[in-house]
Amino acid sequence: MPAVVLLTMLPFTWFGMVLAISFLETPLKFRAPGMTHALGVGIGRLVFKALNSVEAVLAGLVIIAWLLAPAAISAAAGTLLVLAIAALALQMLILRPAMARRTRALSLTALTHDGGMAVKAK
């Protein structure tokens, strides 16, 4: 029974976190007064790194619960879970490292709202 509850609760928690961060926090962050692109990108890097860590924990818990109650998951739900876990793995192993390199490079050329350099070259 606890595994079934986890298999119901965890994917919705995961989905809610992704929606809140990706479609609410991220766009609003860049509208904040005084927010520079460099600062916004820096905050975004921290937020998405933390989100990916929490997502990995939730995915691990989903896998454990699934192993404890395999009959509780329909074929359709299993397919969706496998796709979500595969997308997370792709994101963490390939996409986020590439984006981290790109955002580091962009932050070196970012301008403040008044046109000054946000980050001084070392």
pLDDT in tens, 25-58: 888 888 888 887 778 888 888 888 899 999 999 9
Residue type, 50: A
For residues 48 and 96, is the Cβ–Cβ distance under 8 A? yes
pLDDT of residue 108: 65
Look at residue 111 and give its three-state secondary structure: strand
| Residue linked to tokens 């933390």 | 50
How far apart, in whole angstroms, are the C-alpha atoms of residue 15 and residue 41?
23
pLDDT of residue 27: 85
- Whole-number Cα distances in Å, 109 to 43, 48, 54, 114: 16, 21, 31, 14
Mean pLDDT of 105-115: 63
Whole-prediction pTM: 0.77
Q: pLDDT tens digits for 85-97?
A: 999 999 999 998 8
pLDDT of residue 50: 93
User: Exposure of 7 by Cβ count < 10 A (0-12 exposed, 13-18 middle, 19+ buried)?
Assistant: buried
Residue type, 118: A
